[in-house]
Amino acid sequence: MKAVRFHEYGGIEVLRVEEVERPVPGPGQVLVKVKAAGINPGEAYIRVGGVHERWPATFPSGQGTDLAGVVVEPGPHVRGFAVGDEVLGYTHRRASHAQYVVVDDTALTVRPEGLSWDVAGSLQVAGATAYATVFAVEPGPGDTVVVSGAAGGVGSLAVQLARRRGATVIGLASEPNHAWLQEHGVIPVAYGPGVADRIRQAAGGRVDAFIDTWGDGYVELAVDLGVHPERINTIRDWHTAAKVGARAYGESSATSAVVLGELARLAARGELDVPIARTYPLDQVRDAFRELERRHTHGKIVLRPWPDEER
């Protein structure tokens, strides 16, 4: 099968698509033919060695957490899944950017009818992260919540989940994304110089909670806006969070097949919009990450490991 590999830390140029042995499922595992697999910023940080102390790579390294596909082989003692089942899920073995992947049966849920493969295959990391970061700041009716990076893969889901809790949501994003935010009941505010004053004006003076999906000074901005540290959550700026007492809930805080299934059902019913920015064949994985690392994408970027006629 084909799979993404890198043999050393480095830029996009270290990514390769190689022929490797198809894995064999063990007890409690299934082999999934991957229809779609999302890519995420964390994978780029791992590849360049930026989080080596926290999440070191072992070479040669695979890539990828998100996945959706069809069960082609169950291992011994698998519960709840059979050949032909359409599923979505996740692996923490850095392995989903491939044509086949072995997945624990506890990390899978059935693909709901009406959920596209691209959405299903890119939902776990962004969805669990958004779920966790909204849970961390506990928004509710009467609260005003600010979300930085509000049109990105995580931010676009976080604003919707916060709105579902009844909060007023202010989304920091570039002008081209303001219309999408407004369509989803979010008050758009442009980032850049003067952003604090624009937030205060949009909020009517009071901000109750702040979700930072971008980093780059937004934890300090939240403190300056008068938000209590326990109602600030960042998925980027862990150092500042520790310094001021803010929270840093991320994907691992909400990763489970139960949460993923809940998000998938919301998306299938049209109650959670999961924007897909662009799709790429597996052989164009470098182009996909080049797009991702510009950090101006609205929604998710998805790899399709198989040609359309073989999906």
Confidence (pLDDT) at 222 = 98
State pLDDT tens for residues 186-198: 999 999 999 999 9
Residue 311 has pLDDT above 80, yes or no: no
Confidence (pLDDT) at 299 = 85
Work out the mean pLDDT of the chain and round it to a whole number.
96
Confidence (pLDDT) at 198 = 98
State pLDDT tens for residues 161-191: 999 999 999 999 999 999 999 999 999 999 9
Q: What is the mean pLDDT of residues 36-49?
A: 95
Residue closest to 251 by CA, chosen among 104, 41, 108, 34: 41
- The residue type of 267 is A
Q: What are φ and ψ of residue 224, in 5° steps?
A: -60, -30
State pLDDT tens for residues 105-126: 999 999 999 999 999 999 999 9
- The residue type of 112 is P
For the chain, list the strands marked E by DSSP.
2-5, 16-19, 29-38, 66-74, 86-90, 100-104, 108-110, 144-148, 168-172, 187-189, 209-212, 232-234, 276-281, 300-304
CB atoms within 10 A of CB 6: 22
Pairing of strands 144-148, 168-172: parallel
Residue 84 has pLDDT above 70, yes or no: yes
Higher-scoring residue by pLDDT: 297, 241: 241
Chain centroid to CA 189 = 22
Confidence (pLDDT) at 97 = 98
Confidence (pLDDT) at 295 = 78
Confidence (pLDDT) at 297 = 80
Residue 271 has pLDDT above 70, yes or no: yes
pTM, rounded to two decimals:
0.95
Residue closest to 303 by CA, chosen among 48, 46, 63: 63
Q: How confident is the model at residue 248 (pLDDT cuts 50, 70, 90)?
A: very high
The percent of residues above 70 in pLDDT, for the chain, comes to: 99
Q: How confident is the model at residue 309 (pLDDT cuts 50, 70, 90)?
A: low
